[in-house]
Amino acid sequence: MPPTPPGKWPNSARAAVSFTIDNMGEAADLNRGLWPSSQPTGSHYSVKKILPRFLSLLREKGIPATYFVESWNLDVYPEAVLGVVREGHEVAWHGWQHEAWSSLGEEEERGNFERSFGAIEGFVAEGRGRGVVGRYRGFRPPGGVVHGERTLQMCKRYGLQYISPAGEDAAVVDVSGGGDTIVVLPFKWRTVDAFYYMEAFSGLREEKGEGSSEVQSPETLARCYIGEIEKAVESGGYVSTLFHPFLTDGPERVRAMEIVMEFMVRKREEGEIWLARCCDVADYIQQHPGVVGRDPKWDNTSWR
């Protein structure tokens, strides 16, 4: 049998994998009107109790991560944001307060960019993030769907290097009629923990043909995540795994995440995957655009 040819990613790895985290604190609940008006903000259990566990496991296993954080959190949880970056992880943008991106009109979308990027600029300028937190380099639209060229042009206007919507394949896509490009590092619904754990995703589970409408087990999540990483190794592609702190709230779910982490580490040690932050993958693709195609296979399905 002929030897397996070297991969196209750094260190001849056969696939690129990013460990990503979404949502901080109560931002999404506030946006949806689910947060009790009588309850103060700034002490959400997922920030105070679960995020430290995430960071501990990532440190223990030597895994770099990208955390897509709503800009609202810069004023509410500044130390949590700084703590993520001080651990060597990337903080990327996830809207102002986890707005359903696909429902935003043009003026709403523009205003969200302005407010969010004003917040990060202020955060750095005030000194809280100086030397630690830089400007945003990437954007994951809440809900996974963007407004085509309109959103991509706004991303370039604000200096973003990459975007992480729902899709199938990493790609370099044209912006402004080919006058510019942006890297697309998509997530798949099959590697989103909410897809397995939340009742609200039952319709999407049925639509995707991924199990039943019933909430799925942590064991199912771990098996499916590992399967997607194996597929990426076979195809020479990219995959992003996605975890939400507020959903990783019990020992079985924490253990499922740890199993996925351990698989990633083993595959890295075997030289099969390059485990990297999204910004580092985007850097590499910009320097070596031939490693990916031009079609991310956008996924415009929605869970609500």
| 206 vs 292: which has the higher pLDDT | 292
pLDDT for position 148: 96
pLDDT (average), residues 195-203: 94
Rg of the chain over CA atoms, in angstroms? Answer: 18
**Whether pLDDT at 229 is above 90:** yes
Average confidence (pLDDT) over 124-136: 65
Mean pLDDT lowest for which of 53-57, 72-76, 129-133, 250-254? 129-133
Q: Once rounded to an integer, what is the mean pLDDT over residues 223-247? A: 98
Ranges of beta strands (E only) in the chain are 15-22, 65-69, 90-93, 138-139, 162-163, 171-175, 180-184, 238-243, 273-275
Residue type, position 104, single letter: L
pLDDT digits (tens, 9 = 90+) for 206-216: 888 766 788 99
Mean pLDDT computed over 89-98: 97
**Topology of the domain comprising 10-291:** TIM Barrel (3.20.20)
Query: pLDDT tier at 7 (50, 70, 90 boundaries)?
Result: confident
Please report, for the chain, the start and end positions of each structural domain, with discontinuous segments joined by +: 10-291
Range in 202-206, 248-252, 257-261, 273-277 with the lowest mean pLDDT: 202-206
CA angle, corner 102, sides to 151 and 204, nearest 5?
130
Torsion angle (degrees, nearest 10) of CA 40, 45, 46, 48: 100
Local confidence band at 223 (pLDDT 50, 70, 90 cut-offs): very high
**Which of 22-26, 116-120, 124-128, 244-248 comes out lowest in average pLDDT?**
124-128
Average of per-residue pLDDT across 81-110: 96
Q: Which residues are CB-neighbours of 158 under 8 A, at least 6 positions away?
A: 113, 117, 136
The band of 124, judged by pLDDT with boundaries at 50, 70 and 90, is confident
For the chain, what is the mean pLDDT?
A: 93
pLDDT of residue 296: 98
pLDDT for the residue 1: 42
For residue 281, is pLDDT > 70? yes
What's the confidence (pLDDT) of residue 172? 98
Work out the pLDDT band at 4, boundaries 50, 70, 90: low
Can you tell me the mean pLDDT for 56-61? 98
- Residue 128, pLDDT > 80, answer no
Tokens linked to 116: 């969010």
Which DSSP string corresponds to 44-93? -HIIIIIHHHHHHHHHHHT--EEEEE-TTHHHHSHHHHHHHHHTTPEEEE
Instruction: Supply the pLDDT for residue 210.
Output: 67
The continuous run of DSSP H or E covering 113 comes out as helix 106-125
The mean pLDDT of 194-208, rounded to a whole number, is: 93
To 10 degrees, what angle do helices 51-61 and 251-269 make? 20
